[in-house]
Chains A and B, each alone.
Chain A
Amino acid sequence: MIALPVLAGALTPWLVPMAALAAATLVRRAHARHSEPQPWVDAGIATLMLVPLAAIVAWPGTFTPARAAIAAGLSVALLSHDPRDLPQTEVALKIMWVLAAAFALSWAGDALLALASGSARPREQWPALALALDPYALWSAALSLSLLAGLVLLGGAPFHFWPGDLFHGARPHLAPLVAATLQMAGAVWLQRHLDGVTSFGGAAQLVRALLTLSAMVALAGGAATLGYQWRPERRVGALVSLQGALMLASLAAAPTRTPFAEHGGISAWAGHLLLASTGASILSHFLPAAAGPAERASVLFRRHPWSGAAGAYALLSLAGAPGTPGMYVWLDAARTLADLKHPGLLFGVALAWLAAFSVAANEIRRAFGAPDGSPPPARPVPRSLRTALWISCLALIALLVVWSRGA
C-alpha cells in the first residue's frame, strides 16, 4: 500500500507527458476528417509532432530563454501547418503577431542590459549594475522590457487573449499542449531573467513592483473575464490564463525562489496545467454556450454522465476546486504570498479562486441541466473522446495522490 504512492511519485515525470500524448492521440482520432483513409495512423503521426512539446513540459531543466523562443516558434508552426483549418491558422497568426513583437522588445531590453552591465548573463549583471555606474533610467527601462516576453507568454491579463483564442480556435488535441508549452516558456523566461536579482536591491525592488502590478492585473482581469465570457472554450482559456497569473504572483513574492517547489516546481505546475486543460478543453466542446440552468443536459451528460463527470473533474482541477490537484497549485501560491506578507496579492488570489471555482461549478450544473423525460440520444459520443476524458481524470487523480502524500 505504501509502495503505490512511491511508485506513482517515481512515474510522475512520465505520467504527465504520456497521459497528455495518449489523450491527444485519441482526440485527434475522434476529430479525424472523413477524407482521411487511415485515421489512427494520421493521429499517431500528429501525436509524434507533439512529442517535443510534451517533453518540454515534463523536463524543463534545460530550458533557456532562447529555447523558449524556439518552443514558441514550434508551437506557432504546429498551429499553422494545416491551411484547411482556418480558425486554427488565424490563432497561429495572432499569436505570432504578438509574440514576435514581444520577443523583439524583450531582446532589445536584454541587449540594453548587456550594454549597461557588460555581461549577457543575468547572474553577472546584477553586481555590475549595483556599482551604480549606469543611469537608473537605462537599466530600469531595459529590465522592464526584458521581462515583457515572459509576461506575454504566461498569458495573464492583459495578455489573456491568446489562451482564449487558442482554446476557442485551435483543435482540441493541440491547444492544451501549446498553451502549457507557451506558459512554461514564459515562466522559465522570467525565472532565468531574475536569476540572482536579490544581489542588487534596486533591481529586486523594481522587479517586485513590476511583477506585483502585473500579477494584480492578471488576477483581476482573469476573474473579470471569467464572468463575462459566454463560450465554454474561452472560459477554459480564462482559467488557463489564471494559472499564469498564479505563477506571476508567486514570482512577485519571491523572484528567486522556485515557484510551487513543495509539489515539484515549474514542471509540476505545467504538468497539472496540461492535464487539466486537456480534460477541460475536451469537455468544453460539450458544454452549452447559452443554455439556462433548467434546460436539457448536453449530449455527453445525457448519454454518458460518468464520462462527463470525469471531464468535470479536470475543469474543477483547473479552477483549483477542493479535492483536486489544482487545489495544491492555488494553495502553494497563496502560502508563498502569506509567508512573505503580501496581503494584497493574496486577497487577489482568493477572489480569483472564488470566481474560478464558482464559474466551473456553474458550468457543470448547466451541463447536467434538468431532466425533461426524453430518452438519451441514440448516437453515442465517440469512445476515443470519452477515453481521453478518463485518461486526463485518472492522471489528475494520480497527481492528487502523489501531491497529497508529499504534502
Chain B
Amino acid sequence: MPGPRIRIPASYAGAICASAGILLLMLPGVAWAALGLELVALAFWLWARSLPDSGEQLARWSWLRRPAMALWLASALFLALPQLHNVFAPVPVPSPTDVFLPPTLHVAPLPMSRDPMLLLRTIASLAILWAGLELMAALPLSRPFPDLTGPARPVGPWLTALLPVTGFLVVWRQAELWAAAPLAREIATLALMIALVLSSLRAYSRRSLTATLRWLVVYDSALASLLVTRDVVPGSVAALLWLGTAGGRLISLAGELKTKAARRGPALTRLWRVAGWLAGTSLAWPLLADAGFSDQRFHPLEYGVLSAPVFLASVLWLLRVVEAPERRAMSRPEDHAPLVSRIGAVVTLLLGPSALVYAWWNGFSVSPLAAVFAILPPLSAWWPVRRMLPAPGGPAPETTPGGTRDFALSTFRAVTLIERQLAAAIGGIARALGAPARDLHSGDAQEYLLFLVGVAVLALLLPVLR
C-alpha cells in the first residue's frame, strides 16, 4: 500500500525555483549563474506542464534551456582552460581626434599564435553574452517573448518581465568574464542598441499598459546593460540605476495586475509618473552623455539612435500612467495595496538620483554640455504630455490608421520577420549539412563489416599519403 505523498503544488515549486535561481544569478561565479538560469528554466517548465494547454506552453518556453546551456558551456570551458595571460592584450588605437584616418596596421603576432586557446576563451565569453542578450530579447530567436503571458495563470503577465531581469543580472555579474573578449563589447553594443529601439517601438505599439510595461522592462534592462557594456559607470551603479527603473516598472506591473494599485487616486498616479520618469532619466542620462560626447567630441549618430528610444520611453510612461477610474464606492480597510504602491513609488523616486550621486562621489563626471544634451530627450517628453493629455471631461486621443503607432508596429514586425527568416535559413543550411549524419546508425551487420574494412584501408593509406 503506498504511503502518504508529499505534493508541492506546481505554482509554489516554480516560485521556489525561480526565487532561488534569481538569488544564484546575483553570485559572481558563472557556474552559479548557470545553475540559477537552469532553475529559472525549471520553474517555467513546472508552471507550463501544470496548465491545461501544457503542450503549447511547454513548446513556448522550451527555449529557456538555451541560455542556461550557453552558461553551462561557458562555465565548463572556464573550468577546463588554464589561466591565460596576455591573451586579450590591448591593441594600440589611433588618436581620437583623427576620426577619418584609416586604422594603422600593426605588425604583431596574431592572437591565435600567442595562445591557441584564445578561440575557446572567446567562445566561452560569447556564450555568456549570448545568454544575457537572449534573455533580454536582444537576439532574434527570442525577440517576441515579452508579448506573451507567462505560464502561471494569476501572475502570468508579470512573469515574462522576470526574464529581462535575469538577462541583466547575467550581463552585469559576469561582465568581467565576457567583456574582455575581442569584439564582445562591440557585438553587445550593437545587439543592445537594436533591442533598445525595437523594445521602445513595441512598447509604443501595444495598447495595454501591462504589455507596455513588460517591453519597458526589456528597454530598461538593455539600457542598463549598455552602461555595463560601455563601462560608463561602475557595475554597482548601473545595477542601482536599473533597480530603480526596472524595479519601479515591475512594482507598477504587479500593481496593475492587482487592482491597478499604481494608478489609484490622482496623487498616487502623479507620484508614480514623476518617480518612473526620474528613474528612467537617471538611467539614460549617463549613457546619453557618454555615447554622445565621449572622446571630447560629439557623436551625432550614437546620440540620435539612443535619444529617440529614450524620448519615446519617457513619453510612454508619462502618457500611459493615468489615473484609473474608481469603481468602488469605498476602499476596504484591509487593502494595503495603495500603501505598498506608495512606498514603491518613493523608493523608485529616490533610487535613481541616489545612484547618480553615488557615482559622482566615486569619480563619475560629465561635461556641462554633455549633461545638458543628455537631459534633453527625457525632458522634452513632458511637452507632448501637455499637448496630448485630454482636456478634463474630453475624449481620449485616438490614433488614426497609418499613424505613428502603426508605423512602430510594422517596423517591429518587419525586423522580426527578417530576423526569423534569416534564422530559419541558417537552420535549414545546418540541417542540410547534418543530414548525412542520419545514416550513421544503419544497424546493418554487413555494413558494419564494410565500414571496418573501409577504415582499415584508410588507416593504411593515410600514413602513406603524408
Residues of A within 8 A of B (CB): 93-94, 97-98, 101-102, 105, 136-137, 140-141, 143-145, 147-148, 151-152, 157-162, 164-165, 206, 209-210, 213, 221, 224-225, 227-229, 234, 292-294, 322, 330-331, 334-335, 337-339, 341, 343, 346-347, 350, 353-354, 357-358, 361, 365, 368-371
> Is B448 in contact with A357, judged by CB distance below 8 angstroms?
no
Contact B116 A229 (CB under 8 A): no
Excluding A152-B452, A330-B76, 17 further A-B contacts by CB distance (< 8 Å) are: A98-B449, A98-B452, A137-B463, A148-B452, A148-B456, A210-B462, A224-B434, A293-B59, A294-B49, A322-B72, A334-B79, A338-B80, A346-B120, A357-B72, A365-B45, A370-B50, A370-B55
Q: Among A152, A158, A164, A294, which residue has the most Cβ atoms of chain B within 10 A?
A: A294
**Contact in complex: A102, B452 (CB < 8 Å):** yes
The answer to whether B49 and A322 have CB atoms under 8 Å apart is no
Q: Does B418 contact A (CB under 8 A)?
A: no
B80 contacts A346, CB within 8 Å?
A: yes
Q: Tell whether B325 is near chain A: CB-to-CB under 8 Å.
A: no
Question: In the complex the two chains form, is B452's CB within 8 Å of A101's CB?
Answer: yes
**Does B119 belong to the interface (CB within 8 Å)?**
yes
Report the minimum CB–CB distance from A121 to chain B (whole Å): 22
Question: Would you give the shortest CB distance from A222 to chain B, in whole angstroms?
Answer: 9
A107: shortest Cβ distance to chain B, in Å?
Answer: 12
Instruction: Using CB atoms, name the residue of chain A closest to B445.
Output: A94
B30-53 residues at the A interface, CB under 8 angstroms:
31, 34-35, 45, 49-50
User: With an 8 A cutoff between CB atoms, is B93 at the interface?
Assistant: no
Q: Are B463 and A140 in contact (CB under 8 A)?
A: yes
Chain A residues in 8 Å Cβ range of B45: 365
Chain B interfacial residues counted at CB < 8 A:
48
List the B residue with the shortest CB-CB distance to A90.
Answer: B445
Closest to B82 in A: A338
B116 touches A94 (CB 8 A): no
What chain B residues lie within 8 Å of A157 (beta carbons)?
440
* Whole-angstrom CA separation of A259 from B30 in the bound complex: 28
- Asked if A158 and B76 make an inter-chain contact with CB atoms under 8 angstroms apart, the answer reads no
In the complex, the answer to whether A144 meets B463 with C-beta atoms within 8 Å is yes
Q: Is the CB of B448 within 8 A of A144?
A: no
Q: Which of B35, B55, B441, B460 contacts A292 (CB 8 A)?
A: B55
In the complex, the answer to whether B456 meets A161 with C-beta atoms within 8 Å is no
Which residues from B are CB-within-8-Å of A361?
A: 65
A370 and B123 contacting across the interface, CB-CB below 8 Å: no
30 A-B residue pairs with Cβ-Cβ distance under 8 Å, sorted by A, are A93-B445, A97-B445, A97-B448, A97-B449, A98-B448, A101-B449, A102-B452, A137-B464, A144-B462, A148-B452, A148-B455, A148-B456, A151-B455, A159-B455, A165-B443, A206-B463, A210-B462, A224-B437, A294-B49, A294-B58, A294-B59, A331-B80, A338-B82, A341-B116, A343-B120, A350-B76, A353-B76, A354-B69, A358-B65, A370-B50
Q: Which residues of B contact A140 (CB under 8 A)?
A: 463-464, 466
In whole angstroms, what is the CA distance A179 to B241 when docked? 57
CA of A354 to CA of B77, assembled, Å:
11
Tell me if B55 and A293 are in contact (CB < 8 A): yes
B117 within 8 A of A: yes
Rounded to whole Å, the gap between the CB of A293 and the closest CB of chain B is 5
In the complex, B422 has a CB within 8 A of chain A: no
Counting CB contacts under 8 A, is B141 at the interface? no
> Whole-angstrom distance between the alpha carbons of A389 and B45 in the complex?
25
A102 to B451, CA, bound (A): 11
Q: How far is the CB of A273 from chain B (nearest CB, A)?
A: 20
Could you tell me the distance between the alpha carbons of A145 and B120 in the complex, rounded to whole angstroms? 33
Q: In the complex, what distance in Å separates the CA atom of A293 from the CA atom of B69?
A: 19
* Residues on A with beta carbons closer than 8 Å to the beta carbon of B441: 160-161, 164, 225, 228-229, 234
In the complex, the answer to whether A160 meets B82 with C-beta atoms within 8 Å is: no
Q: Smallest distance from the beta carbon of A168 to chain B beta carbons, Å? A: 9
Contacts of B459 on A, CB cut-off 8 Å?
Answer: 141, 144-145, 147-148, 210
Q: Does B11 lie at the interface of the complex (its beta carbon under 8 Å from any beta carbon of A)? A: no
Contact between A343 and B456, CB atoms less than 8 A apart: no
B453–A225 touching, CB < 8 Å: no
Closest to B442 in A: A161
Query: In the complex, which residues 69-89 of chain B have their Cβ closer than 8 Å to any Cβ of chain A?
Result: 69, 72-73, 75-77, 79-82
Asked if residues A343 and B119 are in contact (CB atoms below 8 Å), the reply is: yes
Contact of B49 among A93, A101, A228, A369 (CB under 8 A): A369
